[in-house]
Amino acid sequence: MNYSNIDFNNKTILITGGAGFIGSNLAFYFQEYYPNSRIIIFDCFRNEEVFSNGNLKSFGHYRNLIGFKGELICGNINAQSDLKLLNGFKFDYIFHQAAISDTRVNDQEIILQTNVNSFKHLLNIAKENSSVMVYASSAATYGSSISPQKVGSENPENPYGFSKYVMDQIAMNYSKKYPEMTISGLRYFNVFGPREFYKLKTASMVIQLAHQILDGKPPRLFNNSNNIYRDFIYIDDVIQANIKACNPKKNGVFNIGTGKPRSFQDIADILQKELGTNFTTEYFPNPYNGYQVHTQADISSTEKYLEFEAQFSLEKGIKAYIPEILRMHGNDISWLIYKTKLLRF
Ligand SMILES: NC(=O)c1ccc[n+]([C@@H]2O[C@H](COP(=O)([O-])OP(=O)(O)OC[C@H]3O[C@@H](n4cnc5c(N)ncnc54)[C@H](O)[C@@H]3O)[C@@H](O)[C@H]2O)c1
C-alpha cells in the first residue's frame, strides 16, 4: 500500500523503538513496499528490569523483528555513547518511536530523561542530516480534557502524558527556529494490531480480551464499560499517518484516531462475534481514580494537513487482526478451528 507519492527506495530511514509495536510495523512496511530502502532500527530491547508498577522498563522484543532484513543497532537513547553509533549515517527520514510507552509509570525522572532529553538529541541529528522527523506523541497529552480532544486543549495527567506534551513544545520551537525542517508529531490514540503482544499488560484491550475469550473465560470489563469510550485506531492507519506525516502541508502536531469513539463493551462484543463465542461479560469495579471515560480525536487538522483518513473501523480492524490474535495465543488449534469455522460458512 503506497500512502503517498514519496519513493522511499534508496532512502536511509532510522526507526527508533523499531523492536516495539509501532516501530516494527513501520520497519516491515518499508521492507515490503520499498525493498531498496535502507532501514536502520535503534532500540534497547528488553532486559529483566521492571518499574515499581511491575511492568518491564522497555518492551522491545526480537520476535517482533523475525524476517527483518535491515540493520539493527541495540542502543539506549539515554546514552550518549550509544547515540554515537548513529554517526556516519545520513538519514533521510527519522521515525522516532522509542519511549517509555507505559502510561502508568510514576518515576518522573526516568520518563522525562527517556522521552524528552533523547528527543532533543534526535532533533539535532535530524538537523545535521537534513532528515524529515516524524515522532510519536500521544493522546495522553489531553488527560481528561473534554471530547473531542483538539490540539491546544492539552491537560496531561500523568508523567507520560506530560513528557509527550513537552516533546510537542520542543518540536514546535524547533520548527520555528528551523522552518526549513519537516517535523510532524503524531498524537496516537488507542492503537491496536499485530506486534503489540509483547507489550504484555500494556497491550490494547483488543488482544487482552481476545486471549481471555480464547482461554475459555468470559470477557472481564470495568463496571459501566458500555459508557467508557476510546478512539481505537488500527495499526495500518497509524502506518498511513506516519507516511503522510513525511510530507505535511505544514509542520505541526496531529491527532491520529478515527474520530469515532467506541466503547470497551463494543470490543468484547465484536470479538465474541468474530470468535464465535457467547459468554456473558463479567464486570468489576474500576480501581482507578480520575479514569478518562471518553476520548475522541478531533481529526480536522489531520485531514487538512496530512490528508489522513482512517480506513479501518473497529470492526474491520479486529477482523483483520484475528488471525494474528489466534497465532499469538500460542495455540495453532484455535487457528485451525477458526479456519474450519470459516470454511463451514
Ligand atoms: N500504542 C499506543 O497505543 C500508543 C499511543 C500513544 C502513543 N504511543 C507512542 O508511540 C510510540 C511507540 O509505542 P509502542 O506502542 O510501539 O510501544 P513499545 O513499547 O512497543 O515501543 C517502544 C520501543 O521503544 C524502545 N525503548 C524504550 N526505551 C528505550 C530507550 N531508552 N532506548 C532505546 N529504545 C527504547 C522499547 O524497547 C520499545 O521497543 C511510543 O513513543 C509511545 O509512547 C503509542
33 tagged catalytic: no
Query: Of residues 168 and 1, which shows the higher confidence score?
Result: 168
Measured in Å, residue 344 CA sits from the centre of ligand 1 at: 40
Residue 63 cell numbers, joined: 520476535
- pLDDT value at residue 290: 77
Tell me the pLDDT band of 330, cut-offs 50, 70 and 90: confident
Average pLDDT over residues 152-181: 97
Cis peptide bond N-terminal to 194, omega within 30: no
How much of the chain exceeds pLDDT 70, in percent? 96
Atom of ligand 1 nearest to the CA of 164: 43
**Residue range 186-199: average pLDDT?**
98
What are residue 12's DSSP bridge partners?
Answer: 38
Which cell is 39 given?
A: 532501514
Q: What is the DSSP letter of 297?
A: B
- Phi and psi at 283, nearest 5°, equal -120, 150
In percent, the amount of the chain with pLDDT more than 90 equals 93
pLDDT band at 291 (very low <50, low <70, confident <90, very high): confident
Given 135, 199, 234, 338, which residue is catalytic?
A: 199
pLDDT digits (tens, 9 = 90+) for 74-123: 999 999 999 999 999 999 999 999 999 999 999 999 999 999 999 999 99
Evaluate whether 167 touches 156 at the Cβ level (below 8 Å): no
Give the mutation target among 14, 24, 101, 121 for probing the ligand 1 site: most ligand atoms within 8 A of CB.
101
316 annotated active-site: no
pLDDT on residue 335: 43
Judged against a pLDDT cut of 60, whether residue 195 lies above it is answered with yes
Residue 257 has pLDDT above 60, yes or no: yes
Q: For ligand 1, atom 18, which residue shows the shortest CA distance?
A: 20
Q: 47, 76, 97: which to mutate for ligand 1, most atoms within 8 A of CB?
A: 97
For the CA of 191, the nearest atom of ligand 1? 3
In angstroms, the CA 201 to CA 18 distance is 20
Judge contact between 260 and 298, C-beta under 8 A. Answer: no
- Ligand 1 surroundings by CB, under 6 angstroms: 17, 19-23, 43-45, 58-60, 76-78, 97-101, 114, 136, 138-139, 188, 190-191, 199
C-alpha 85: how far from chain center: 25
Identity of the amino acid at 159: P
